[in-house]
Amino acid sequence: MPTTTYDASICMMTRIFEMMGGKWKPIILYLIQHDINRFGALKRSMPRISKKVLTEQLRELEQDQLIARHIVVARPPQIIAYSLTPTGISLRQLIDEMVRWGITHLNSPHKPEWIRLTGEIPSPPPLTEQPKSMCIRG
């Protein structure tokens, strides 16, 4: 009987969690999507993140091509803005689905007000096909 083994070093899920994992990256992606896209505005929106960590997270998101960095004003002080790349925009759907899952399955007092008021959670669109596992080494 053949044995299937899984190798995290080649697993697609491992790479996805590396790209968007951590405490701050999903929040940063969310804020940039909603036009909170300059360093100072991001920092004010996340007061518990240090400048060093915010800089590191932005650089990693840029290296992973999830966000793009734009120099709005070149002369000092420079004004830098960030935007989601097409890849970053496509990742937002995944993050939105994770939020829906959390709202449905986690007992949290932090449910958005519209859910507390209506009790309704929008159903996700149906998958057109079953996702294939990319973690199998055979």
What pLDDT was estimated at residue 49? 94
- How far apart are the C-alpha atoms of 32 and 88, rounded to whole Å? 10
For 34, the domain range is: 5-109
The CATH number of the domain holding residue 100 is: 1.10.10.10
Q: Which residues pair with 137 in a beta bridge?
A: 5
8 Å CB contact between 78 and 56? no
Structural domains of the chain, count: 1
Give this prediction's pTM: 0.69
C-alpha separations of 119 from 2, 43, 54 in Å: 48, 32, 35
pLDDT in the model for residue 44: 93
Cα 74 to the center of its chain, rounded Å: 28
80: helix, strand or coil = strand
Please report whether residue 130 resides in a domain: no
The answer to whether 138 and 10 are in contact (CB under 8 A) is no
Higher pLDDT, residue 15 or 65: 65
Task: Give the pLDDT of residue 133.
Answer: 38
pLDDT at 101: 82
pLDDT digits (tens, 9 = 90+) for 26-81: 889 989 988 899 999 999 999 999 999 999 999 999 999 999 999 888 788 888 99
Instruction: Report pLDDT for 70.
Output: 94
Evaluate whether residue 129 is within a structural domain.
no
Judged against a pLDDT cut of 70, whether residue 21 lies above it is answered with yes
Name the one residue in this structure whose structure tokens are 């091509």: 65
For 107-138, the pLDDT digits (tens) are: 656 555 545 444 455 554 444 443 343 344 44
**Residue 11 counted as domain residue:** yes
